[in-house]
Amino acid sequence: MSSTLFEYFVQFHFVKTVLLAVGALLPIVDPLGSAPIYLAMTSGLSPDNRRPMAKAVAVNSFFLLTASTLVGAYVLDFFGLSIPSVQVAGGIVVCAMAWSLLNRPESPAIALTLGANPEQGLRSKIITALAHSVGILIVALAVYLCYRHADRIVRQLGPIGTGIVLRLSAFILLCIGVQIIWNGVHALLVSVFPNATP
């Protein structure tokens, strides 16, 4: 593989992984949909005091999601679970959460599922870890911006606009879940029928 082709592959893989992390986590973290909740929980604070609180929430979110993503594969490996089986189960969980979001807005985080798609080779693992970290940083930045400007966002979007953004994000998450399931099913089929063409 030529140097230019390899660099293109690395850049494509990095961007794809960043977008996967953002696409999977953003609908779950849902900073837009959570802005009214944040505003209600910090109603006793002045706007000046609300800003450092938004920063603290964003920083804590970044570290929590990063730790969950980076150690997820190792925790699962400790229990002897194969990556394809985790992909299938994780994809089902992601789809269930996305379906839940399409019908109601409460749902937990899914960072461990991102860690269930490790790449082979040290260089690929480092690139994937960096890409996940960049994706999580984007999500944490979105949390900070949405919480810092929660009062303005709630006024501008209104309940209908917030619901539309949430449903659109949930649909994208559903598609990501289906793709994760297919990755796992495909890997399981290849392990059972190694000579079959995909």
Please give the tally of structural domains in the chain: 1
Provide the 8-state DSSP code for 119. Answer: P
In a domain, 198, yes or no: no
State the residue range of the domain holding 98.
3-192
Q: Torsion angle, CA of 59/175/177/65, rounded to 10 degrees?
A: 0
Residues 75-107 have pLDDT tens digits of 777 888 887 888 888 889 888 877 877 776 444
In a domain, 197, yes or no: no
Q: Do the beta carbons of residue 133 and residue 90 sit within 8 Å?
A: no
Q: Do the beta carbons of residue 140 and residue 28 sit within 8 Å?
A: no
Residues 119-147 have pLDDT tens digits of 556 777 788 888 888 999 999 999 999 99
pTM of the predicted model over 0.75: no
**Position 81: which residue type?**
L
In a domain, 122, yes or no: yes
State residue 46 phi and psi, 5-degree precision.
-80, 160
In a domain, 32, yes or no: yes
Residues 39-62 have pLDDT tens digits of 777 878 887 888 899 999 999 989
